[in-house]
Each structure stands twice: as structure tokens, then as C-alpha cells.
Structure 1
Amino acid sequence: MPETAESLIPDEVAARVGTVVATATGAVVQRDWQRWAVSVREDNPLYFDGDYAREHGYADVICPPLYVQYAILGVTPIDTLRVDGSSGAASGNLTFPKCPKRMAGGESTTFLRPSYDGDVITSVRTVESIVEKQGRSGRFVLVTWKTAYTNQRRELVAEATTSMIARP
């Protein structure tokens, strides 16, 4: 970025690095995850067959790991979504007035233990970094969050690193 260029990152947004910007809690429900698994064509018997799951060392059928993120999502009416198509809640409603164009920058999730029917998952999302970069097509802002997913026993179930790109 040229030293004379005005930053794309508002000071009040930059100050949010290191802070928790979103928390959410939701129940893992067997019927819901099985419907989700069928809808994405995931037919792993660990998610449907208790005997099979127990034969493979689990207490019962387990939740598909990727479903854990969906178990905690709320519902947002379409007419209240932001221009970028999201509610903004999971991102902490970070605003970049000079960068209205948004796109996913990537996600990496590590799953540490299974979730079972009735588990209650809590996610805590923290802003890890907000940096301005120069790309081939111009300046942009890269935001990275860390999210921890724990169950009702305060056991860490999963950790995710997610990023978003905001462009002018």
C-alpha cells in the first residue's frame, strides 16, 4: 500500500483485533443432522447406524463433524440480510465502508472429538487479524477469525480459522 493512501480499515474496526465478536449456542439433534447428511449426500453409517458406530469405538451414532457449525446457526429473515447476503452476526458486524464487496477467503477446521445427540455446542469467535494487502487487482482487507466450539462439558470439539476478503 502506498504510504500516502488512506487506510481501508477504520480505526474502530482495527481496535477489535483480539476481541470476541460473536458467540452462539445450539443443540446437536440426531434427526436434524441426519436430514442434513442426506441433503448433502453424506451416507456414512457412523451418522445413521448405532450398532456400526459402537463397533467402531463410539458411544452411539455421531454427528457429522461439519454439521457442528450449522447446529449453532440462527435463522435470519431474508429481508434483514446485508447486501453481501449474510446477517453479519457471525463476523461481529465489522464494517468496511470503503470495501463493500465481500467474499470468503477460506476456512480450515480441526475436529477434536465427536458430538452426540443432545450435545449443546457453544461457539466463541475472536478476531485474530485485520490487515490491508495489495493484490494483483488492487488493495483489499483480509480479516481472519478463530472460532472455538465446545460442548456442554466444556470439552473442545473443534477449532476453525476463517477468513474474509473485503474489496473497494
Structure 2
Amino acid sequence: MTATTLIPPEVAERVGTVAATASGEVNRREWQRWAVAVKDHNPLWFDADAARAAGYDDVVAPPLYVQYAVLGVTPLDGLRPDGSSGAVSGNLTFPDAPRRMAGGESTTFHLPCYHRDEITMVRTIESIVDKQGRSGPFVLVTWRTTYTNQRDELVAEASTSMIARP
């Protein structure tokens, strides 16, 4: 690693590789509990007649729920100092930039998720770049994530970024 980069060579080599895969089943009871917990009382999530009137086959899962259907639970003692498990990010390490923060996320939803849909997530490391900000250097990591159902149909895709600072 040179003095001009915060990115170790072994991390830079991971661009273009799969950082994580996961899958899980979409479950009506779980998404309804999730919706109530986040105070989203949209009838499409709860009322089959309302969902059918809107053109769906049955009640559908809230779009943002899709990522929770595939993520597992990490015990508290398994979390990193930044509060994340690191597993979905590919456990990228930046010894000279250990402080982490979310950089943003943009998600496009293509298809609804129904009860018992099996969703598979594939997260690929899209880029890892050194940047210079007002308060100094940082690393910007971007992942591209796809979510497909059991019929291999694209349900959603996301671009997520993370900032690592010294």
C-alpha cells in the first residue's frame, strides 16, 4: 500500500467479485409484523381485496422488506465496532481507514413479492476508490445488489455505498 492510497492491494483486487449471497423466504406474517413496526399500514400489505383491486394476485410484501427477507441475524457479540456484521459487505478491511459510515442507497423495484416467494440476493463489489473530501481523504465503496425470485425474475436491484475514513 502506498502513502497515497487508503486501499490495500488485496482489497482493490476484489472489485468485480461477489461480496455476498443470501436467500430467504418472503413470509406474510413476518412482513406484516415488519410493516406494523415501521408504521406502514398500506392495505396492499394486509388486505387481499385491496391488493387485487390494485392489480396484484394477493397481498404483497412492502418493497423495502425484500432485503430483510434474506438477511440473517447476527448476535451482538458478532458485530464489528461500527455496528455491522460486515458479512454482506464482503468483510472489506481498510486498516488506515477504520471508521465507517453509510454513503447512500438507491433501489429500483421491478416486481412485487408474494407470500412464500424465495428471494436470492447477490451483492457484487462495483468499485473501491480513494476520494478527497473537505475534511480529508476517504474510501468510497459501491456495491450492486440484485434480488431475484424462485423463477429467476429480477425483483429489485440496488446500488449501495459506504465511506471508510481514517
Superposition TM-score, scaled by structure 2 size? 0.98
For 1:30-74, what per-residue CA distance to the aligned partner results, in whole angstroms no more than 9, with x for missing partners? 000000000000011000000110111100000000000100011
Q: 1:34 aligns with which of 32, 35, 39?
A: 32
Q: Secondary structure at the match of 2:88?
A: helix
Q: CA deviation at 1:7?
A: 1.3
Runs of 4+ aligned structure 1 residues displaced above 6 Å come to none
- Cα distance in 2, alignment partners of residues 7 and 156 from structure 1: 36
Q: Match of 2:100?
A: 102
Structure 1 residue 6 and structure 2 residue 4: aligned?
A: yes
Q: Match of 1:86?
A: 84
Q: Match of 1:49?
A: 47
Structure 1 residue 58 and structure 2 residue 42: aligned?
A: no
Q: Match of 2:142?
A: 144
Q: Secondary structure at the match of 2:82?
A: coil
Q: Secondary structure at the match of 1:89?
A: coil
- Cα distance in 2, alignment partners of residues 109 and 80 from structure 1: 27
- 1:105 aligned partner, one-letter code: G
Stretches of structure 1 lacking an aligned partner (at least 5 in a row):
none
Q: CA deviation at 1:6?
A: 3.3
Q: Match of 1:158?
A: 156
- Cα distance in 2, alignment partners of residues 64 and 93 from structure 1: 29
Stretches of structure 2 lacking an aligned partner (at least 5 in a row):
none
CA RMSD of aligned residues (A): 0.8
- Cα distance in 2, alignment partners of residues 30 and 80 from structure 1: 29
- 1:52 aligned partner, one-letter code: A
- 2:75 aligned partner, one-letter code: P
Q: Secondary structure at the match of 2:115?
A: coil
- Cα distance in 2, alignment partners of residues 10 and 45 from structure 1: 49
Identity of aligned residues (%): 73
- Cα distance in 2, alignment partners of residues 139 and 5 from structure 1: 12
Superposition TM-score, scaled by structure 1 size? 0.97
Q: Match of 1:127?
A: 125
- Cα distance in 2, alignment partners of residues 80 and 87 from structure 1: 7
